[in-house]
Amino acid sequence: MNGHAIAAIFRFEMARTMRTLLQSVASPVLSTALYFVVFGSAIGSRIQEVDGIGYGSFIVPGLIMLTVLTQSVSNASFGIYFPKFLGTIYELLSAPVSVAEILIGYVGAAAIKALAIGLIILGTAAFFVPLHIEHPVWMLAFLVLICVSFSLFGFILGIWARNFEQLQLVPLMIITPLGFLGGSFYSITMLPPVWQTVSLFNPVVYLVSAFRWSFFGTADVDVGLSLAMILLFLSACIAIIWWMFHTGYRLKT
């Protein structure tokens, strides 16, 4: 394992974040505060509780999940896209660095940035609503798994994208809608039976359900099934990335 290569990629990606610290950290925190004002106050005044949990507290896992998903995807996709855009990807491909080392550097940096923002939002939420995390170890484990999984997905997106429009298409047109329709601000048990069944085809439902269980001990979907879905998604992303590097898909053109 080439530790120097991993550290170099990791430091470069983290330095890029420090140059845009206001955008990277302040923006998600401000957005979270606005969500609490709009959803927690306006809608929370009409919906007092969901499954015995105050609505303001109930939406905290969903808010964290929404931000973590988008941040993981955008950090990793931009991280690998810019070397392609600038042409420096060829230096990386010709260097004595394995696919695993490249992944650890880029995906590790993206996941840590998303994880840090998720924890900052969790701390911000504590100023607005009372919070009690019933399973803190599982909460952190799910958060790490989700950050890594969607950073891998963002890495795939960055390799696939040919231009900035394609780079932003999937987060805007797929990730964000799936996040809002994945039970972030409601329980799917509140939906009619037909729409509950339809919701189960949304992969974000399993992420939000498992993460909410770690907070409150209640879930819309069995926790074991949610964990299996997360691990399946992570494995599929790793397999796709291996294939991309093995074949040179959109890397050597």
CB atoms within 10 A of CB 20: 10
- At 169, is the pLDDT very low, low, confident or very high (cuts 50, 70, 90)? confident
pLDDT of residue 236: 96
On the question of pLDDT at 44 being above 70, the answer is no
Element (H, E) at 54: strand 53-54
Q: Higher pLDDT residue, 248 or 151? A: 151
**How confident is the model over 216-244, as pLDDT tens digits?**
998 999 999 999 999 999 999 999 999 99
pLDDT of residue 73: 93
Mean pLDDT of the chain: 87
CB atoms within 10 A of CB 121: 25
- At 91, is the pLDDT very low, low, confident or very high (cuts 50, 70, 90)? confident
Q: CA neighbours within 13 Å on the CB side: how many for 148?
A: 18
**How confident is the model over 98-114, as pLDDT tens digits?**
889 999 999 999 999 99
Find the mean pLDDT for residues 56-80.
Answer: 90
Q: What is the pTM of this model?
A: 0.91
pLDDT of residue 175: 87
pLDDT of residue 42: 66
Find the mean pLDDT for residues 206-218.
Answer: 94
pLDDT of residue 34: 80
Angle, to 10 degrees, between the axis of helix 60-86 and the axis of helix 3-19? 110
- At 40, is the pLDDT very low, low, confident or very high (cuts 50, 70, 90)? low
CB atoms within 10 A of CB 82: 14
Q: What percent of the chain has pLDDT over 90?
A: 40
Radius of gyration over every alpha carbon of the chain, rounded to an integer in angstroms: 19
Q: Higher pLDDT residue, 20 or 181? A: 181
pLDDT of residue 253: 59
55 vs 48: CA distance, rounded Å: 6
Find the mean pLDDT for residues 179-200.
Answer: 88
